[in-house]
Chain A
Amino acid sequence: MELLYAITLGVLTSCGTYLLLRARTFTVILGLTLLSHAVNLYLFASGRLVAGAPAIIGIADTMADPLPQALVLTAIVIGFAMTAFVVVLALKAAVELRNDHVDGENPDEDRT
């Protein structure tokens, strides 16, 4: 299970990073979202993988670690707000610069 989880995380990170390095704003937003999934899952994993034991007193004897969960919960919400912000930023850039290249110029080619 742990190995599977780690591999999934790796795939998410790779996909996110690759998209992050593309040249168009929308693609970068997609990449950021994937990467934030990966980061949230990674943080969550620091509480280890426990099945069927939510951190609620009185349900089961063992309980999952509540601390990473609390951290990740706020991270998800703030991540959403940041995504919204980046989306608006991308829109604004697209309007003002008349293209959706991340550098705001050279819309037809990547620069190396």
Chain B
Amino acid sequence: MPLVLIILLPLTGACLPALLQGRSSRLLASVSALPALFCLLLLLSWLPHVMQDGAAVVQRLSWLPSLGLDASFRLDGLGLLFALLITGVGCLILLYARYYFEGSEATARFFTLLLLFMAAMLGIVLSENLLFMLVFWELTSLTSFLLIGYHTDDHAARLGARMSLVITGGGGLALLAGIMLLGQAAGSYELSIILEAGEHIRASEHYGLMLNLILLGAFTKSAQFPFHLWLPHAMTAPTPVSAYLHSATMVKAGLFLLARLHPALADTTLWFYLVTLTGMLTLMVGAFVAMFMHDMKGLLAYSTVSHLGLIMLLLGLGTPMALAAALFHLVCHALFKAPLFMMAGYVDHATGSRDMRHINGMWRFMPALMVLSGVASAAMAGLPLMSGYLSKKMLFNESLLVVIPEWATVVIPAWVALAALFSVAYSIRIFHNVFFNGRPIDLPIWPPAPPRLAALSPIMLPVLATLLVGLAPQPIYMALVHPAFAASRQIAVAPYDFTALDGRLPMLMSLFALAGGALFYHWRTPLFRLHCRLPMVDAKEIFDWLMRRATALAQQRVFQLENGSLQRYLAFILATLVVLVGLQLRDVPRWDGGVALAPLDPLTLLAAILLCLTSLGVVVYHHHRLPALLLLGVTGLFVTVTFARFSAPDLALTQLMVEVMAVVIMMLALSFLPQTSPRGSTRLRMGRDLTIAGLMGLGVAAFSFAILTRPQQTISDFFLANSVPGGGGSNVVNVILVDFRGFDTLGEITVLGIAAVAVFAFTRDLHLKARVVDTNPTHWVAEPYPIMLGAVARLVLPVALLVSAYIFLRGHNQPGGGFIAGLITAVALTLQYMAGGLVWAQARMPTAFRPMIGAGVLIASFTGLGSWLFGFPFLTSAHGHLHLPLIGEFELATAMLFDLGVYATVVGATLLILANLGKLMTVAGPGKEIG
């Protein structure tokens, strides 16, 4: 049977309550219990297998094999024990929630979240891959966050939820880092490998860091001091949540993790100190604070903290049987703590209060509940015959077995005995204060409404189990705890010998705790008064202060960097670039690559000087925008010349056409923008920008010089050799564009089309208020459409179109092609716009530019697809010879059809941009859309 089913059941089952939104909580609880119950049965079916040989069952589903991430599952004794706890307690809690939510509305969310949580928790304990486990780990933090903040209108609940998320989520991040280190040290994230590699991992150089990070994750999750803070504040959640997540399951995830990784990480001095000391502190702090809590749930929360510390302490001890004791106590704790929480929930409902100074004498109203709680409290206190009695004695026994270090031989037993004393005291307190201790005082609900007898069933079951464990520990230990113990040790271990508990010292310690606790409770009135005088340390305030500081600091840092100024960001980016690349280039031994330099001729020198001067001119005159723009045009012309000079006729033609169009467009835009840029920059700022710009220029110059003087290795020989035989054209640049790299070109004309359509979309609803009034009217010619220009433009058009057709047709063999021909056509038509005006030109030419772009892209695509019909790959071109009368022999290739698509796209895109920008200038304003 696939293990994934166990997780999928509650996961998919979580949808059920969501679908039944608004129905009664009774129905919702029953529906939600189905997947949980089924899950429990599935798990129980594995029990015989695990009891018999205990070999881990591992199942794998490939997920991201390249990252070492598989969805792999593992079921062994340890996983099964936890999974049974999770589903078993889960079923009880669902049953309990059925009564708890009786009469209240909108609980579908609660049941969905609870099932989600159950799935996540099962994921943690059944994962084989640690990264995979981490996903579930975070999921439990998230569902816990949502459940604590279940009452979204309650401020305290929201704060409590946030605190738990900050602490457990932060711990999760640390755990992620720790697991990465662990995975690297072990060479895998799979548990089966990691558990074998213990020696290797403990010897790895990052062991200390790794252990600290992993422990941070476990400590935060399991509410260990000083991270225990979130647990009491999580008590704002509905009581079923407190009973389930925050006492029986989620808080034990950290303990599970440490038990799981025990063979890989444990039993070093560092482990002993970190885990044991943390456990000891948590044990004592939790027990001490619990003693003085007046809130029922608060007392139970701190007692949970204390018990978690106790188990943590046992995990750290390192004595042979300590793990068995830890797991045994973990089971006992779940069995007696869940009923106590449920009791608190009922009493809270019945009386409207959780304050034990007011709730007294409940035995009159709820005798049955009193009996059940009595058993659970007795187990918590560790009264003889109870499960807690056994587990406490196991603890005492283990604490006495510690031999190294020397201080621990005395301190640890004394420490745990003292903590046990407190635990006896608070166990008596919660039972006695609630059910006896005189009469109730000022209860909000009077008389208290006792819960129905049926509602006690979820309490009854674990209480019975507690009794059973107390009376027959050996069989239950052998069935559940021993396989888990063996699985977490990963070596053959002997079962725990319960007769060893009959030693004198553990007995004495137990008696001391019981008697001391009873006396402590007896003298509680003066002790409480004394406690009131102790300085109050509110950890929540410290936490809030830390949070506020962290937020303020982060905000401050963010605002320092990110003040909304784009120039500033750009400067940061460029400066980073300069620094990073500069550091890398510092070590370049020789900039001059050694290839002989080409001789310099005076004409080229002149052109280069002019190019530099014009571009510097743009910078110098950039405050006067029109001259700067004209200079920019000249720069573009010299770039064109450069292309022509160095054997790139196609580029020169393209650049020429583009330059014309670009200047026209910028000119158009300039008539709407201010004509000058104010001189606002401070000297400091100009210095900064000049430095960055200078360094950038220096870098680019040095870099390109280094490239130019190094021997060339090119892949172009292939193109040169195959251009004629393979592509049917002798202009290699064009053949590359339409044939070899046709797919790239297809992408590029698509981008071109998209840019043009974006311009169209932007100008469509752009309402320019008024054209910027030019202070210097001599800039503009008085006559809007000069006659000379108009006459010449009309004459030029047919010639230009003819040239464009010629350039297009010969493009495969001579400089030219679709891009250039398209641009020539566009420039010729632009001239008509300029000469005759938008309205005049529009009336005389087709303006379906967007369909033209679409058609172009489609023609190109279908040409490419056409080769599929003949069984060739996409964009394979065919070519043949065609004899045209008068003109001569043409070499016609399907690539020409592709080029036609390019042509159409270029013409359409260019004119769409131009016409729509020009449209803004018309007196009528935006008017009808063009294209």
Contact = CB atoms under 8 A, between A and B. Distances in A.
B357 interface: no
Contacts of B736: 66-67, 70
B920 A91 contact: yes
A108 B678 CA distance: 8
A100 B673 contact: yes
Interface string A1-16: 1111111111111111
A66 B618 contact: no
Contacts of B689: 17-18, 21-22
Interface centre among B605, B708, B731 (most CB of A within 10 A): B708
B204 interface: no
Interface string A53-75: 11111100001111101101110
A108 B646 CA distance: 45
A23 B766 CA distance: 23
A9 B701 contact: yes
B705 A51 contact: no
Contact of B694 (A14, A46, A76, A108): A14
Given A15-B616, A40-B639, A45-B708, A54 B604 contact: no
Interface centre among A52, A66, A87, A111 (most CB of B within 10 A): A66
A57 B673 contact: no
A66 B697 contact: no
A82 B704 CA distance: 25
User: Which bucket holds chain A's interface residue count?
Assistant: 35 or more
Nearest to A62: B647
Interface string B627-662: 011001001100100110111111100110010011
List 6 tightest A-B contacts by C-beta distance, closest first.
Answer: A10-B701, A14-B697, A6-B705, A81-B755, A57-B730, A18-B693
B704 A9 contact: yes
B570 A21 contact: yes
Given A13-B697, A37-B636, A81-B756, A21 B571 contact: yes
Given A13-B696, A70-B737, A85 B755 contact: yes
A84 B755 contact: yes
13 contacts: A1-B597, A8-B608, A15-B616, A22-B689, A50-B647, A52-B647, A56-B814, A67-B719, A74-B744, A77-B752, A77-B819, A91-B766, A102-B566
A30 B719 contact: no
Interface stretch (B70-78, B116-124, B367-375, B709-717): B709-717
A88 B748 contact: no
A21 B696 CA distance: 12
Contacts of A53: 647
A5 B787 CA distance: 43
B776 interface: no
A66 B716 contact: yes
B768 interface: yes
Interface residues of B, number: 116
Contacts of A21: 567, 570-571, 574, 689, 692-693
Contact of B665 (A11, A18, A78, A84): A84
Interface in B744-779: 744-745, 748, 751-752, 755-756, 758-759, 762-763, 766-769
Contacts of A89: 762
Nearest to A102: B566
A83 B635 CA distance: 16
Interface in B820-871: 823
DSSP majority for the B interface? helix
Interface in B796-818: 813-815
Given A8-B612, A78-B748, A67 B567 contact: no
B744 A51 contact: no
A97 interface: no
A11 B697 contact: yes
B5 interface: no
Interface centre among B673, B719, B769, B813 (most CB of A within 10 A): B673
Contacts of B815: 54, 56
B709 A2 contact: yes
A20 B570 contact: yes
Contacts of B814: 56
Interface stretch (B59-67, B89-97, B679-687, B876-884): B679-687
A34 B666 CA distance: 14
Given A44-B643, A67-B719, A26 B599 contact: no
Contacts of A84: 662, 665, 755-756, 759, 913, 917
B654 A77 contact: yes
A73 B640 CA distance: 12
Contacts of B257: none
A15 B693 contact: yes
Contact of B632 (A33, A63, A64): A33
A53 B732 CA distance: 12
B758 A64 contact: no
Given A22-B689, A48-B708, 11 more contacts: A9-B704, A12-B635, A15-B619, A26-B674, A34-B615, A49-B708, A63-B647, A85-B755, A85-B758, A91-B763, A95-B767
B651 A44 contact: yes
A64 B762 contact: no
B677 A17 contact: no
Nearest to B741: A70
A1 B443 CA distance: 97
